[in-house]
Amino acid sequence: MIQLYSDSRCPFSHRVRIILNEKDMDFKILDVNINARQDLMQLNPYNETPVLVDDIDKNNRKRDLVLIDTNIMSEYIDERFPHPQLMPIEPAEKARMRMKIHWLDRQLFQHVRLLDTNLNSKDAKMKKELEKARKIISSSLDEIAGVFTLNKKMEYFDSTHLTLLDVSLLPVLWRLNYYNIEVKKTWAGLMKYAETQFNRKSFLDSLTAAERSMKQ
């Protein structure tokens, strides 16, 4: 069974929890804020969440696979449990999606991690860095919102069904208020898409109590 070491507020953990729920599979969530912090430190030298552990039974010999990168985890789960498919099968299409996720990593997630780990900082220099991160995230969301403005009937991010692109983006959109990022009027199409996906069963099931409080 897959075990996920997860932080209840971590957007990267949230991405993996969405995938696990979308696959409708057996898994176990270990909240590092409750009783699994020591295990996390032993599994991940960077002491960051998420961490995925899968006990693989091969030729009747059990061994644990430990993964510490969100994108690697996402693709691993999608390939090991292929229904529903969240990544294209065809190599060129798969490469294109990886490039788009790489863009999200560069334009959104590295700044999201800064916000997430330093949100309550009182340091004046860090506060300036956080404001800079908010502006970069906002500018990147302007670009993404433009795609939804041009394609008003688009239900998913650059696809006809849920993919890892949606799974990557939705935790950020859920946290906009929590990160003190203003939602612009020009994001109407993007936020309509977000609210639709927020009501998806796998998304609702993925939420922790701490994450639910972010939207209140």
**Residues facing 53 on adjacent strands:** 3, 66
> What pLDDT, on a 0 to 100 scale, did the predictor assign at position 41?
84
pTM beyond 0.75, yes or no: yes
What Å distances lie between residue 31 and 28, 120, 149, CA to CA? 10, 21, 38
| CATH superfamily, domain at 2-80 | Glutaredoxin (3.40.30.10)
Q: What is the pLDDT of residues 123-153, one digit of tens each?
A: 999 999 999 999 999 999 999 999 999 998 8
Q: What is the pLDDT of residues 102-118, one digit of tens each?
A: 999 999 999 999 999 99
Domains 2-80 and 91-206 share a fold: no
pLDDT at 60 over 60: no
Q: What is the pLDDT of residues 10-57, one digit of tens each?
A: 999 999 999 999 999 999 999 998 666 778 888 998 889 999 999 876
User: Which residue carries 């699994």 as its tokens?
Assistant: 36
CA distance 70 to 75: 9
Residues 203 and 2 sit within 8 Å (Cβ to Cβ): no
Q: How confident is the model at residue 2 (pLDDT cuts 50, 70, 90)?
A: very high
pLDDT at 71 over 90: yes
- The domain spans of the chain are 2-80, 91-206
Q: How confident is the model at residue 62 (pLDDT cuts 50, 70, 90)?
A: low
Q: What's the whole-number average pLDDT of the chain?
A: 93
Name which residue leads in pLDDT, 57 or 92. 92
**CA 76 remoteness from chain centre:** 15
**Residues facing 58 on adjacent strands:** 61
Backbone angles phi, psi at 194, to 5 degrees: -60, -50
Q: What is the pLDDT of residues 76-85, one digit of tens each?
A: 999 999 999 9
> What pLDDT, on a 0 to 100 scale, did the predictor assign at position 58?
62
91-206 in CATH: which number? 1.20.1050.10
